[in-house]
Amino acid sequence: MASVIQLKRKTAAAWTAGNLVLAAGEPGYETDTGKMKIGDGTTAWTSLAYSGAVGGDHGGLAGLTHDDHTHYLLAAGTRALSADWDAGHSRFGHRRSRAT
């Protein structure tokens, strides 16, 4: 029989209203925002920072902006490669204009 692991999960409003203290290392998941916090055993929910392990927008993390990683390619195609990119066995390069 397969095992199922489920995280403690509630809406953001329910987490805030309950303001629980999660055990050290215990994850809590917001079902409506997709964000997660990891408990430390002493800090109440509303004072915990969101975990950076959750995918998605990281613009809300302290010290980061929505486009502060200039080494990333943007899915919209709005940032060109500025140098060759080594992806293991494949190399991708940026276009250089050639003098004629």
CATH number at residue 20: 2.10.10.30
Asked if residue 37 lies in contact with residue 24, where contact means CB atoms within 8 angstroms, the answer is no
Q: pTM, whole model, 2 decimals? A: 0.51
Mean pLDDT computed over every residue of the chain = 75
Instruction: List alpha helices for the chain, DSSP H.
Output: 12-18
DSSP calls for 22-37:
PPTT-EEEETTT--EE
pLDDT in tens, 46-75: 999 998 744 455 555 555 555 555 556 666
Neighbouring C-beta atoms of residue 28, cutoff 10 Å: 20
Count of structural domains within the chain: 1
Is the residue at 3 inside a domain? yes
Range of the domain at 19: 1-54
Q: What is the pLDDT of residue 53?
A: 47
Give the whole-angstrom CA distance, residue 86 versus residue 38. 35
Neighbouring C-beta atoms of residue 94, cutoff 10 Å: 10
